[in-house]
Each structure stands twice: as structure tokens, then as C-alpha cells.
Structure 1
Amino acid sequence: MKKELTPPAVGRPRAFDPDVALEKAMQVFWKHGYEGTSLSDLTEAMGINRPSLYATYGNKEQLFIKVLDRYGSGPVAYVLESLNEPTARGVIEKMLHGSVGLLSDPQHPRGCMALQGVLCGGKESAFVLEHARSRRVAAQEKIRERFERARKEGDLPLSVNAGDLARHLAMLLNGLSIQASNGAGAKELKRAVDFALKTLPV
């Protein structure tokens, strides 16, 4: 009787979970910023060696962009999800309260990773800085479009400039991140949000 042979496995199986390792890389970048994070910091936190990092994620720059994708679809997914709220007021409230929840979560480093970690840097970081900036601008544009729709639907007064309101909201979100980095806790951040909501034209 002919014996069935099991075909040999192609390649060596990964000894790590790429998603788990990416999550760990995000925490390192979040804590130290792009330029403040070394490859040694990353490989140690991710539990892999440099060849595995390069083979799976590319170089440090490419890894950071993958981390930004994960950050956008994970911790700060509430930003774009907020745009589905039925009213402009609801959009703003969900976004601000979502920010407080993230910034006061003890499982994460203080502040916003996409803001604080890539605001400045040298020439070697130019591509990453521009990529992060363009993402922030694109998110603000989506918020502006949502407020423009609210004006057309009569949910926002026509006297309110959608672009100005979107920029003001972005400033509030950025300010909350800085306050959290300064040590403000959930209680203080919520009070700041409540105060801000009283001053909005919606």
C-alpha cells in the first residue's frame, strides 16, 4: 500500500504574532515619540530581532506608518465614528468625550501619539512628519465636511463657518492632549470639556 507523504512546510513559521507586536510598537512610539524611539527599543518591546522587524514591517519609517494606521482604526477610531452622530452637537460631544476617555486611560501613555510624537524632528524624519500632518489635515477636512452638511440640513446656523468650527474643535482636541500630558486626570479633562461645550454655537 502506497504511503501518503505530507508535503514539507514552505518557509519557517513566524514565532510571533504580528498584530500583537505591532500593538507593542505603538505603545513604544506613543511613549517616546518617533525620533525618541530606537530600533533597539522596538525590537526589545516587540520581542523580535531586526531581521524579523524588517521582513514583516519594513524599516522604522514604514513601521511607524503602520502604527499610525493601527492608532487611527483602534484608540482614536471614535474621531471618525463621531461623524455618524445625527447632529453637529452630537458629533462634537462624542469626539470630546471620546478624547477624554482615551487620554485618561491608564493603559496608554499620556497624550495623543499622532500629535505629540511627530510635531517636530530632523531631516531624517521629514517624510514621517509630513505623513502625520497630512493625516491630521485630512481628518479635520472630514469634520469640516460634516459641519457643512449640518449647515445645509439646518442643524447648524448658516452664520457658523464650518471650517472655523472644525478648526476650533481640532484645537480643543489638541489642547486636551497637552493638558493630559501635563498631568490632568479624567475629572479635570471632563470639566474642561463641559466648559468648552457651553461656549460652542451649537
Structure 2
Amino acid sequence: MPRQRTFDTDEALEAVLRVFWSKGYEGTSYADLVAAVGVERPALYSAFGNKEAMFLRALERYSSNYGNYVWEALRAPTSRQVAARVLEGAAELTTRYAENTGCLGVNGALAASDDAEPARRALIEWRAAGEAALHQRFQQAKEDGDLPDDADPATLAAFVLAVSHGIAVQAKAGFPREKLLQVARQALSTWPGPCGEDLAENVART
């Protein structure tokens, strides 16, 4: 009869996620993961598999439990509010936890060897999904007259993610949240079309 696991797999996955979030994929060893969960290596492997499999599970959890602000932002009534809520969310999440600054997706891809190729490709697909969703939302905004005729939805989607990823890198470097929100406000000052509700008003409601 196989031995029963003596740990909560949900709590273990959260611990695994936090290690990858802090150290990135390349900087995390299996020993780090074992130490974070506090179980024997065979038990951890039995529950989650190898490092790559654990990272993919952690990325899925991060997307649903932390990075979901991007998908929630898509429901905002104007394109500018969508962009504002994405950038605001990036500044908030990447500075929320002292031990986990930055973004798991960005931290995980800053350095990648050949052995890390599967994780790198997973992160590329993860970011591409977010960019595609923003592109579609901005295309709809253009069709609805919320964006001017000369606006390029694809470029706007790439712009929002480029700024949000830059915010994540600066958060990892120790930039405070207010400074990152100022960066977001500066980026939004170039948004095409009516100003509408700005990021400062969004922040005031949170």
C-alpha cells in the first residue's frame, strides 16, 4: 500500500509558487522547493513531478489567483480604463508582498538556459494570451468609436504589456508603489482619444 501524503497539496503549491516568484525559474533549485514545502523530496515529486511540471502548475495558480486582474480589467467600459486598470494592477501586485516583488512571469524569464526552454516557451504563450486578449478588447473599442480611426489596437496592447512588464522589473529592483503608479500615469497621458477617467481616480476607489 502506498504511503499517504502528509501535507496539504494546495498549501504546498502556494509555497512552490512563492519560491519561483522570488527566484525565477532558473534561480530555483529542487532543493529550494523541498525546503519551502518542508517535506521529503520523494513526496514532493510524487505530488507534483519534476521542476518543470511544478513551475507550470505554479504559473497556472499565479494566473488564476494573482494575475487575474488583467482579465478583470477587460470588462472596464473604455479602452483607457482597461489600460489604467492593467497598469494599476501591475503596480499593486508587484509591490504587494515584500518577499515576492515583481511578476512571476517576468522574473521567471529574465534568464533561461537550454534546459529551461519548456518553461520559457510556457511564459511566452502566457504573455501572448494576455496580449491577444488586450488586442481584441482594443479592436472592439475602435469599432465602438472609443478609439480614433488611426489607433492601432495591436500596438496599444503591446504598449500596455511593455509598460506593465517594465513596472514589474522596477518593482523587483525596489521601486516603491507610488513611483510605479507615477510611471503608469505618464504612460496613460499618451493614450489616444478622450482622457475620461484617469488612473488616479481608479486608485482612489481601491
Q: Structure 2 length normalisation: TM-score?
A: 0.89
User: Where in structure 2 are the equivalents of 1:34-183 lying within 5 Å?
Assistant: 34-183=25-174
Which runs of structure 1 show a deviation greater than 6 angstroms over 4 or more consecutive aligned residues?
A: none
Q: CA deviation at 1:13?
A: 3.9
Q: How far apart are the structure 2 equivalents of 1:136 and 1:187?
A: 25
Give the equivalent residue in structure 2 for 1:20.
11
Percent of residue pairs identical: 36
What amino acid maps onto 1:72 in structure 2?
S
Q: CA deviation at 1:14?
A: 2.7
Q: How far apart are the structure 2 equivalents of 1:134 and 1:193?
A: 25
Give the equivalent residue in structure 1 for 2:198.
none
Give the equivalent residue in structure 1 for 2:20.
29
Q: How far apart are the structure 2 equivalents of 1:125 and 1:104?
A: 26
Q: How far apart are the structure 2 equivalents of 1:40 and 1:182?
A: 25
Give the equivalent residue in structure 1 for 2:184.
193
* Secondary structure of 1:48 counterpart: coil
Count of paired positions: 193
Structure 1: unaligned runs, 5 residues or longer: 1-9
Structure 2: unaligned runs, 5 residues or longer: 194-206
Provide the alpha-carbon RMSD of the alignment.
1.4
Larger Rg: 1
Q: How far apart are the structure 2 equivalents of 1:21 and 1:190?
A: 33
Q: Structure 1 length normalisation: TM-score?
A: 0.90
Q: How far apart are the structure 1 equivalents of 2:122 and 2:111?
A: 12
8 A Cα contact 2:73 2:85, kept in partner: yes
Q: How far apart are the structure 1 equivalents of 2:151 and 2:55?
A: 37
**Structure having greater relative contact order (Cα 8 Å, sep ≥ 6):** 2
Q: CA deviation at 1:180?
A: 1.0
8 A Cα contact 2:22 2:107, kept in partner: no
8 A Cα contact 1:119 1:129, kept in partner: no
Q: CA deviation at 1:119?
A: 3.3
Q: CA deviation at 1:113?
A: 1.2
